[in-house]
Structure 1
């Protein structure tokens, strides 16, 4: 029980940042669009570059982003085909997108920085690129099915600066080029900035939220099932198989990183995609809000059950 409260105390600042984000828009009239652009075009590329250039890349580490990308994509495709006839609008598209991912960035990276040593947190950020690629390829295509072509989706991917930050960092890593020690401290600070502003963005998105007239309990239940039951079970199954038969990873620290990916809240990207595709954003926003609140207790419990980080 003591460990639970220690973990709960550790993640409390993340929720304080959500509140600060809400107040910054409500009281100070801060423009969330400007903060979002700052995160996407400046802060995130620096975080990805510094982590990619710093991490020690081996075969098992290379396999993990591929594994997660394939797993997220297959999950989204299967869920979409199972539930595509359950709603008259594109709600099933958002459900499928959410089932394939989680808030691994804005919520997950601050958690990784809190719970892991810096080099393990860098591994988390490196693997997290799989979820970014998913969100802008398979995930985007499923949510925009009928409105955008695959070519248009890929064009959007190649406009993201994070792609080129990753490629540049990977090339530097492979050629043994490192960030000078004097600059490493500077680039490392962007991880904290990313976490703070990323959580504030969640709070900013809550401004204007009202209770939807058509509260979709089925949508909320299925989102919670795939995020909080399906994901942990699948990751734990892979860890068991790897420890027992596969021996592809065979690293307890990496297992912890994988488990953290499985217990983060529902991704807030679905809200943006709901707006783009003309679906009532209240439904997606309310689901993300409930998930984020639920995770305040769920994450510490799951970490305690896992044995602690």
Structure 2
């Protein structure tokens, strides 16, 4: 358990640094510029590094397929229920997708290593890949939809470079391309810069965020969906599947991850109440500190 706590705290330290930086320099730090640099440039490096550092094994596709299936089931539930609960287009967009976009990479991978060991890495890598596609297709569409029409929202998906970088990286991996030492180091530098900047940006957005100003109904819905409905459905689906217990556990833990900082990036990019989304990510991250131990205990019954 101590390794899990250390994995979480070692990541959260960058969030604290971002908060302190914004507190110290205030308007001198332009969060919009940092967000654009991260999404349009650094995350391309993160995508190539994540997909080329290890070959994609077709036999590993069971885990991400099940993960995606559960996410799509819950997305349909969220689409219809959130429509009835929220009349504001921006709140509806947040309520629809925020809870299904979890932190499967920065947080999910190290926590799974702490629980299952390094043999979990190939599975968490491909699950994170699926989550990236969810973020930059479904996530982009709904966050964009809060401000733009359907046509523009669909175009916003296409014009993001990370989606094309993912496709190119997958094709290169399938054809057996292995980056040389120099290229691998370059990609790694960009990848770690992206992950650090993403956490740093979250800390920046935390400054000035007032949780009490966020709609209580939105908080209740997102947190209930994230930590009650989603794990309940995931547990039921996984319980009846004939699958290795470690793979079941990895899928379950990845689905339990708190809201990803990517929610904040997209909410900021498409002007969909980024401060509200930041508050939701923060609340889910705090609750997760207790929920993770319940989730680990639940693995015994899968």
TM-score between both structures, scaled by the size of structure 1: 0.79
Q: CA deviation at 1:98?
A: 1.9
Corresponding residue number in structure 1 for 2:228:
229
CA distance in 2, matches of 1:19, 1:122: 30
Structure 2, unpaired ranges of 5+: none
- Please report how far the alpha carbon of residue 20 of structure 1 lies from its aligned counterpart in structure 2 after TM superposition: 0.4
Moved more, 76-85 or 51-60: 51-60
Match of 1:128 in 2: 128
Question: Greater CA deviation, 152-161 or 10-19?
Answer: 152-161
1:73·1:134 contact (CA, 8 Å) conserved in 2? no
Question: 2:13 maps to what in 1?
Answer: 16
Preserved contact between residue 137 and residue 153 of structure 1 (Cα < 8 Å): no
Q: How does 1:99-248 map to 2 (within 5 A)?
A: 99-109=99-109, 111=111, 120-121=120-121, 123-145=123-145, 147-181=147-181, 183-213=183-213, 215-243=214-242
Secondary structure of 2:17's counterpart equals helix
Task: Indicate if the aligned counterparts of 2:3 and 2:114 stay in contact, CA closer than 8 A.
Answer: no
TM-aligned CA distance change 1:156 to 1:142, over 3 Å: closer
Instruction: Name the counterpart of 1:30.
Output: 29
Aligned residues: 297
Q: 1:39 to 1:303 in 2, by over 3 A?
A: farther
Instruction: Provide the C-alpha distance between the structure 1 equivalents of 2:104 and 2:7, rounded to a whole number of angstroms.
Output: 17
Show structure 1 runs of 5+ residues with no match.
Answer: 244-249
The two structures have a TM-score, normalised by structure 2, of 0.81
The residue matched to 2:255 in structure 1 has which SS?
Answer: helix
| CA deviation profile, 1:173-211 (whole Å, cap 9, x unmatched) | 222221224544553455543433222221111122235
8 Å Cα contact 1:141-1:148 kept in structure 2: no
Q: CA deviation at 1:22?
A: 0.7
Contact 1:48 1:125 in 2 (8 A): no
Of Structure 1 and Structure 2, the greater helix share is in 2
